[in-house]
Amino acid sequence: MPELPEPMTALLEALRRLPGVGRRSAERIAFHLLKGPKMDALELARAVERAAQLTPCPECFQLSEGGPCPICRDPARDAAVVCVVETPMDLLAIEKSGEFRGRYHVLGGRIAPLDGVGPEALTIGPLLRRVREQKVSEVILATNPDPDGDGTAMFLTKALEPTGAKVTRLARGISSGALMEQANRGVLSDALRARRAV
């Protein structure tokens, strides 16, 4: 039986390997890319290729165009305060807040026993070395506020103990702009426990 041309099958398979892309969405994306002028397709291929050439910053492991990233090169950023995040996107989110003038450390994920991700898969070794060698005085743990993120923070707290650096976590409570009545139990219990005098 005649089938789809092999390059089409290969494209569908490559798309299906992406997170959140099932069979139907792979087909929709492939059809979108291949109908009419192929500009979008070639642009996507080039964009993926170029991005794949990014390498982790040797200091903080943020994706960088080679060598230390702009933040690690910036002498105005406080090297004594390091904010630990799971992914490059998390770094960007904090950076956008404009509130943080220290440096970062990108773990490259979180410890997730159920997914078979152990501490050795993350950049924890380089973090400990950095804290020891560069007189880091405070490490802010900004892992995700969920079970794996909390577990990773607990692991890091223990691992950082011998360095003598102060270890802090981002405050947890109700989100600015959120509706009280929609806050779930976890959020409210965080907010109550961390309540402050006004």
Interface ranges with a second copy (CB under 8 A): 1-8, 10-11, 13-15, 17-21, 25, 27-36, 38, 40-54, 63-65, 69-71, 74, 87-89, 92, 95-96, 98, 108-109
Residue 138 Cβ vs a second copy, minimum distance, rounded to whole Å: 20
| Residue with smaller CB distance to a second copy, 71 or 167 | 71
| Residue with smaller CB distance to a second copy, 175 or 189 | 175
| Residue with smaller CB distance to a second copy, 86 or 167 | 86
Residue 123 Cβ vs a second copy, minimum distance, rounded to whole Å: 11
For residues 122 and 90, give the distance between their C-alpha atoms in angstroms, rounded to a whole number: 15
Residue 18 Cβ vs a second copy, minimum distance, rounded to whole Å: 5
| Residue with smaller CB distance to a second copy, 145 or 173 | 145
Residue 35 Cβ vs a second copy, minimum distance, rounded to whole Å: 6
Report whether 93 contacts 46 (CB < 8 A): no
Residue 152 Cβ vs a second copy, minimum distance, rounded to whole Å: 15
- HSE of 66 in the Cβ direction (CA atoms, 13 Å)? 2
Cβ within 8 Å of residue 58, ≥6 positions away: 67, 68
Amino acid (one-letter) located at 155: F
Beta strands in 61-165, from DSSP E residues, in sequence order: 63-64, 78-85, 102-106, 138-141
Give start and end residues of each alpha helix (H) in 35-122.
39-52, 70-73, 88-97
| Residue with smaller CB distance to a second copy, 29 or 128 | 29
Query: Which of 52, 60, 69 shows the shortest CA–CA distance to 136?
Result: 60
